[in-house]
Amino acid sequence: MKKIRFNFITANLKLSLVAAAVFFLVSANAHAAEFKIIANNSVSSNSISAGVLKNVFLEDSDSFAGSHVLPVLQKAGPAHEAFAKQYLNRTPPALDVYYRTLVFTGKASMPKVLASDAEVVAFVARTKGAIGYVSSSASTDGVKILQIN
């Protein structure tokens, strides 16, 4: 009886571990699918590393692929939340405090913040060096989509 019970508990533990692993994989992929990184066609590269992306959006760097870049953020929404958490390691409120601190200390100015996917796409399309993010379902006519490597 003890051996049967032990096998049952072991099987349940294995099943729970597999379910947890699947949940984390699906959840990580869901965040990546919530937004896409876009850039003005003047940006020479078709991909960007996660580290460079973070440096550009945290205003630690203003260049990418040999060109001056201008980060553009969304004011709110699922794409903004997912991007801030996944690539900037901050919640949206913490990101706002971070930018305000940069402005207050004179280290940088507030980045461009727009209200919608359409506004971000339009701004990025007409602004040389602009880089931003939009929801995965947004139309990206006139801009290039950057792959994150």
pLDDT above 90: percentage of residues in the chain: 73
131 within 8 A of 37, measured Cβ to Cβ: yes
The per-residue pLDDT for 31 is 43
Q: Output the six-digit token pair for 16.
A: 């729970």
- What are the tens digits of pLDDT across the range 73-109? 999 999 999 999 999 999 999 999 999 999 999 998 8
Q: Which CATH superfamily is domain 35-148 in?
A: Periplasmic binding protein-like II (3.40.190.10)
If you ran DSSP here, which 8-state letter would residue 114 be given?
A: E
Q: What is the pLDDT of residue 65?
A: 87
Three-state DSSP class for 147? strand
pLDDT at 36: 97
Residue pLDDT, tens place only, 113-133: 999 999 999 999 999 999 999
The string of DSSP letters for 53-103 reads HHHHHTTS--EETTEE-EEEEESSSHHHHHHHHHHH-S-HHHHHHHHHHHH
- The answer to whether 132 and 123 are in contact (CB under 8 A) is yes
pLDDT of 5 over the 60 cut: no
pLDDT in tens, 19-30: 444 444 444 444
Cα 121 from Cα 29, distance rounded (Å): 23
pTM above 0.85, yes or no: no
